[in-house]
Chain A
Amino acid sequence: MKYADEFRDKELATGLARAIRAKADPSRAYRFMEFCGGHTHAIARYGLEDMLPDNVRMIHGPGCPVCVLPAGRIDMAIALAERPDIILCVYGDLMRVPGSRGSSLLKAKARGADIRMVYSTLDAIALAEQNPSREVVFFAIGFETTTPPTAVMIRAAEKKSLTNFSVFCNHVLTPPAMRAILDSDTPIEIDGFVGPAHVSTVIGTEPYAPFARDDRKPVVIAGFEPLDMMQAILMLIEQVNDGRHEVENQYRRAVAGGGNQRAIKEVAALFELRDQFEWRGLGSIPASALKLRSAFAHLDAELRFAMAERVVADNPACECPAILRGLKKPVDCKLFGTACTPETPVGSCMVSSEGACAAHWTYGRFRDHQRRLAS
């Protein structure tokens, strides 16, 4: 695969691993947070931890949009899908996210709710066209990467004058999440950020400037092939060693400084900021999520179906909140691997393939045993 395979090359990886080892100062630790579900997944799937020296640690931040979706929003979607006139379209990962009391969209589907898995927003449009007597609702989630596709879908719905289509909007923003991490009551030590790959193709590099300038944290935007990540880690180590705190762009082949202007404009035309939005694990964050502008109110499922807001407390034993903020690791959670597994997830971190717990369980848990043997 062109532009993928070259960035997965084992030879180059070995060279980079050596370079990282040479640059990392053995007398200190380096803790870098990544914010992108794709990065979490790549680190686990390629076993990148094995290639880094022990004093360079990767912390998983809240970069997985499925993971940060609160249970209450799932409950709202289930309630909507249980109405007989509704077809609810969702991305696959959402199906098993736990709502309250062990519910999920998958279980609701088994009980008869018409919930359909889609791979693209345009599939939802096709479903609306094919089912004129039903109401088709698209469960929109995602960071800035996924919002433009939702915008394109809304334009298509308007162009086709669809009267049976609407969107349950849960789009969230990356910089407010980074801000919440840094401003947290229980802050963690982070020496720098690996900037998200495809969020950055949309928003460009400017939005990260405050974190470099004001919080004095190096930010390196990285592609999510494994060589991209390793190069970004090397660049971060160099910034830390040099005492610099800048925004650097490792993913230059896909990220332009100004981002994707067309995508930015489309999103601005259709969406506006919500005052507050609940994030699983991070609490309520101001100006961190989007809703449809009033001109598109007829496409807003929350208004169209008078959806009642539901706030659900997380399972107190579930450590997703601390894990999403990088305070704890999956193995620190008492439920990890016992009550909470991919088959029986308690928290959202175990559901999505980008969640820290799922990634660790699926790819990396053998290291826990190795560490126990070594200690």
Chain B
Amino acid sequence: MSMHQRRLDLKNGCVDLSHGAGGRAMAQLIAGLFHEAFGNEWLARGNDQSAFDVATGRMVMTTDGYVVSPLFFPGGNIGSLAVHGTVNDIAMAGARPLYLSASFIIEEGFRFSDLKRIADSMGEAAREAGVAIITGDTKVVERGKADGVFISTAGVGVLPDGLDLSADKARPGDRVLLSGSLGDHGVAIMSKRQNLTFDTEIVSDSAALPGLVAAMVAAGGQGLRLMRDPTRGGLAATMNEIAQQSNLGFRLQEDAIPVKPAVAAACELLGLDPLHVANEGKLVAVVAPEQADTVLAAMKAHPLGRDAAQIGEAVADDHRFVQMATSFGGGRIVDWLSGEQLPRIC
């Protein structure tokens, strides 16, 4: 005899504690909302885990947590951000992302309609990126204990043979390439925050980078030393990390770094440096001089790299300073941002 079960009221209903209890309510939520959105053969089997064939060679694994506030922002939401961020972490190694897991910690009272929007975005982002979300978990906590929803992910991917990107491969004279404009994500988020009431046309750049990466790997060969995506802390944090790990200094040209005028204006208003603002669909690459032009051309030919530019080069430097020639003519350091000016940015 089949159980009569009232359909999920996706339009007006809310998550309550029963949806995290492991019972029928939770099963219904998972099937009706998450499986619907992520739609793949693994989830259809309904197991707590999913099995997949392992490629020979080296695999890559990553994990991430997403606590962005607000949950919905111009250009995306916590769900699409979670998928993009995870596949990008894998892609920065030069690996092809394959499978993701997604774990949700949901606050009691969270609207189904919002959860569905998030889940649908994740499904769409995953399909576009060529990955599948094959396993997950759901927990519900009391009101006030989770600020809507937190998402935790893990991802696995496979490395092409012979590819070993690493900061210690960088050499003086290597070129620094940036895939596009800085600061879009951070400013899109700020435009929605409570205290800041300005409207901009800036949309988060949240995007899946594996396609761009594949083009760059094909073009760069052994000349591609490493790639990083400048998320929290912006380009400044990323360049300083690379400097520390590669034991080199970097010299950048401010004039060469693309920043949209509205982003620059918003940063001026808030006293922020675009170099410190988070990006979620950009990457920086260090490439040997012989391959730099080819890689740059490959980037520009890709939709996510249209504004790509060479922004500087690596130099020998015992202090590992990241220095920049300002657009005005003088020089300055590009340092890590101190303190937390933009909490919960991703």
Contact = CB atoms under 8 A, between A and B. Distances in A.
A260 to B, nearest CB: 21
B195 A363 contact: no
A134 interface: no
Interface string B169-199: 0000000000000000000000000011000
Interface residues of B, number: 24
B240 to A, nearest CB: 12
A353 B338 CA distance: 10
A117 B195 contact: yes
Contacts of B326: 45-47
B339 interface: yes
Interface residues of A, number: 36
B341 interface: yes
Contacts of B327: 8, 10
B163 interface: no
B331 A48 contact: no
Interface in A36-66: 44-51
Given A106-B339, A117-B195, A47 B329 contact: yes
Interface in B182-226: 195-196
Interface string B259-271: 0010011001011
A120 B328 CA distance: 30
Contact of A47 (B195, B270, B328, B338): B328
B328 A13 contact: yes
Nearest to B327: A10
A46 B265 contact: no
B332 interface: yes
A226 B328 CA distance: 8
Contact of A365 (B264, B333, B339): B333
A119 B265 contact: no
Interface in A246-269: none
B335 A46 contact: no
B319 interface: yes
Contacts of B57: none
Interface in B292-332: 319, 321, 323, 325-332
A19 B194 CA distance: 48
B330 A4 contact: no
A351 to B, nearest CB: 9
A44 B332 contact: yes
B341 A4 contact: no
B268 A4 contact: yes
Contacts of B321: 366, 369
B323 A366 contact: yes
Given A1-B264, A119-B196, A353-B271, A364 B329 contact: no
Contact of B341 (A14, A92, A341): A92
Given A1-B268, A106-B339, A369-B319, A49 B195 contact: no
Interface string A288-308: 000000000000000000000
Contact of B330 (A46, A95, A119): A46
A47 B339 contact: no
A44 B326 CA distance: 11
Contacts of A96: 338-339
A364 B321 CA distance: 11
A211 B128 CA distance: 67
A371 B338 CA distance: 26
Interface in A328-375: 341-343, 353, 358, 361-366, 369
A44 B333 CA distance: 9
Contacts of A46: 326, 328-330, 332
Contact of A343 (B268, B325, B338): B338
Interface string A75-116: 000000000000000001001100000000010000000000
B41 to A, nearest CB: 46
Contacts of A49: 330
Contacts of A191: none
Given A4-B268, A47-B326, A50-B330, A118 B195 contact: yes
A342 B333 CA distance: 14
Contacts of B195: 117-119, 123
Contacts of B319: 366, 369
7 contacts: A8-B327, A10-B328, A46-B328, A49-B330, A50-B331, A96-B338, A117-B195
Please give me the 5 A-B residue pairs with the lowest Cβ-Cβ distance, nearest first.
A47-B330, A342-B338, A50-B330, A363-B332, A46-B328
